[in-house]
Amino acid sequence: FGRLEDRKQSNAIIRANEARAPAPVDAVLARSEPVEEDQEWRRVTATGTYDAASTIIVRYRSGPSGEPGVDIVVPLVTPSGTALVVDRGFLQIDTRSADIGDVPPAPAGEVTVTGWVRVDGTGSSTEVEDLSARAINSQRIAEAIGRPTFGGFVDLTAEDPDPGSPLLLRELPDLDNGPHFFYGLQWWFFGVLALFGFGYLAYDELRRGPRGERPHRPQRPQRERRTNVPAAYQRKG
């Protein structure tokens, strides 16, 4: 039930931020600072140039239908020198090959991007090795590319100018309440069932003694099978 309340609170934040007009990136994100909880999924805009040489491949991602792929993350260097980590989208790949193939290039020159603010990933999956990672963390990327970054990152929704080969963009998450309420009911049911089962077994042991110490019931003698079929025609075994 606690997870249900967390989901409702998260959905309320997403709905509120979805309705707000895009804001300049430096009005929402700060250099090397974590994203505030109520700012996730806020739309921001930023203008700069992509550092294509520092493209990060985020592996083990799935598309809308479960197809395997990678996310293409490119730092956008703003006029202040601070880079905004931009997840430009999803690229489907062939799982039978370690080579992801050609990565669609980001627009060259000055670019204006709009995207959803996201909170940095955590844990060892965010480590960047050979410009590859399994989750996005702006601080780890800053260390890997040798450039300061804004905290958090953005899921791209639009670029100006448009890219020659667009990637599959991420959509807003589903805003239903999920199955948490019914999972909660199931756990209550299992808890009551466990208490009932414990009570029944305790009563049975109190009435009849521990199961390992109970006298064995004598086996009933097998009844002789009677039939009118002659012995020569009876089924054997």
The answer to whether 59 and 134 have CB atoms below 8 angstroms apart is yes
**Once rounded to an integer, what is the mean pLDDT over residues 227-232?**
68
DSSP string covering 158-192: EEESPPSSPPBPPPPPP-S-TTHHHHHHHHHHHHH
CB 150: neighbour CB atoms within 10 A? 28
169, 89 contact by CB (below 8 A): yes
- The DSSP bridge partners found for residue 46 are 113
- Residue 126's SS3 state is helix
Measure the CA–CA gap between 77 and 100, rounded to whole angstroms: 25
What is the Cα gyration radius of the chain? Answer: 31
C-alpha span between 110 and 160 (Å, rounded): 9
- Whether the pLDDT of residue 134 is over 80: the answer is yes
Where are the domains positioned within the chain? Answer: 2-160, 179-211
Q: What is the pTM of this model?
A: 0.73
Number of neighbours of residue 95 by Cβ within 10 angstroms = 9
Quote the pLDDT of residue 98. 62
The pLDDT score that the predictor gives to residue 99 is 72
The reported pLDDT for the residue numbered 229 is 65
pLDDT of residue 156: 97
pLDDT attached to residue 153:
98
Look at residue 95 and tell me whether its pLDDT is greater than 80: no
**pLDDT tens, 146-163?**
999 999 999 999 999 999
- In terms of C-beta density within 10 A (0-12 exposed, 13-18 middle, 19 or more buried), how is residue 42 classed? buried
CA 43 to chain centre: 21
Residue-wise pLDDT tens digits, 163-172: 999 999 988 8
Which tens digit of pLDDT belongs to each residue from 27-44?
Answer: 999 999 999 989 999 999
Q: For position 11, what pLDDT does the model report?
A: 86
Is it the case that residue 136 has pLDDT exceeding 80?
A: yes
Confidence category of residue 211, pLDDT binned at 50, 70, 90? confident
Residue 114 pLDDT grade (very low, low, confident, very high; cuts 50, 70, 90) = very high
- What is the rounded average pLDDT of the residues 228-235? 68
Instruction: Dig out the tokens for 207 from the structure.
Output: 């009435």
The span from the CA of 123 to the CA of 91, in Å, is: 24
- The two tokens of residue 154 are 């953005």
| 160 in Cβ contact with 166 (< 8 Å) | no
Report the alpha-carbon distance of residue 229 to residue 235 in Å, rounded: 10
Specify whether the CB–CB gap between 48 and 24 falls below 8 A: no
At 67, phi and psi to the nearest 5?
-70, 145
178 pLDDT above the threshold of 80: no
